[in-house]
Structure 1
Amino acid sequence: MRKEPGLKRKQEGIAMLEFMFSAPLLIVLMFAVTELGWAFHQYHTMTRATRDGARHMASGAMVGSVGIIYLDSTLVQQTGNLVVYGNVNGTGTPLLPNWTSAGVSVTSPNPTHIRVSANYDYVPLVGAIPTFYGGDPLSLSFQMQSTVEMRAL
């Protein structure tokens, strides 16, 4: 059996066409997985910081042994700093890009518990998806929320 001399060359062209059709799909899939991983990482960072802030607030909110919760403004400010910056002084860079302590709220839903809520405006790595029909770009940003409620100690 003899092989045609141009058969190998034809097969190389087919492989190039297959790659040309599948590469855009693979690239979009790679960006989607990266974006999803980045969003999960930021959400995990935010929930962990909110839990740390609630733990800090719960340990200092109870006044003596009378069982009354007092939301001291200094303790509330320290909790907001701890959630956003990772320390009670509010020094250094925020744990998440462009996060401020204005997105953190501390409340007492009942006489024995405290609630720390945090909001963060997620900004994707990709930015916005351009539209091909002349309209505004599609924004992929959204607001993340985390709330932790703990019994005051």
Structure 2
Amino acid sequence: MLTPSFEKQISRSHCQGLVMVELTIMLPLMLVLFLATAELGRALYTYNTLTKRVHDGARYLSQNSLRGNLQDVELDQDEIDKLKSLIVYGNTSGSGSTSVEGFSVSNITVTPWDTLYFKVDINYTYRPMFGSRLSLFGLGNDINITIPLNTSVIMRGIN
């Protein structure tokens, strides 16, 4: 018959080995879930930044787009260029670093919506920090994991 202290030693060492096996199995899964959550948070942060920037730019253009006695919206190319610089760089001069990595003035379109309104669109492709393609290691075609982030605002010209 085994003594109680010897039984505790056997079960304790057995449990320590079992914990290492469980850790070996669960650690990769936990890391994948952690990185996926971080990437989703980063995508939402980028979308929020783009949404705030398009609203700020549209507000700027709404105050600088009314021309003439009829108070119709007239989209001057100089004002549109300033709007795009404001959205991308945070200032109308177009200097400094971009607000979002890979974001440029070519991602922005401004169109007249009505005689008093205009629309500002942003079409940006979000690229995860670990690459834009998910490899299946030869088991099929790679999966494109870029996310199109589109935001727009329609605003009225004001004095």
Tell me whether 1:146 sits opposite 2:148 in the alignment.
Answer: no
Which residue of the partner structure matches residue 21 of structure 2? 17
Q: TM-score, normalised by structure 1?
A: 0.93
Alpha-carbon distance in structure 2 between the residues aligned to 1:13 and 1:65:
83
Equivalent of 1:122 in 126, 133, 144: 126
Which residue of the partner structure matches residue 56 of structure 2? 52
Question: 1:115–1:150: 8 Å Cα contact kept in structure 2?
Answer: yes
Q: TM-score, normalised by structure 2?
A: 0.90
Identity, in percent, stands at 28
Which residue of the partner structure matches residue 67 of structure 1? 71
Q: Which runs of 5+ in 2 are unaligned?
A: none
Larger Rg: 2
Deviation string 1:51-98 (CA, Å, 9 cap, x unpaired) is: 011001111111144221110010011001111111111111111111
Alpha-carbon distance in structure 2 between the residues aligned to 1:115 and 1:2:
79
Shift of 1:135: 4.5
Q: Give every structure 1 segment of 4 or more consecutive aligned residues whose post-TM-superposition deviation is greater than 6 Å.
A: none
1:146 partner letter: T
Tell me whether 1:2 sits opposite 2:7 in the alignment.
Answer: no
Q: Which runs of 5+ in 1 are unaligned?
A: none
SS of equivalent residue, structure 1 residue 44: helix
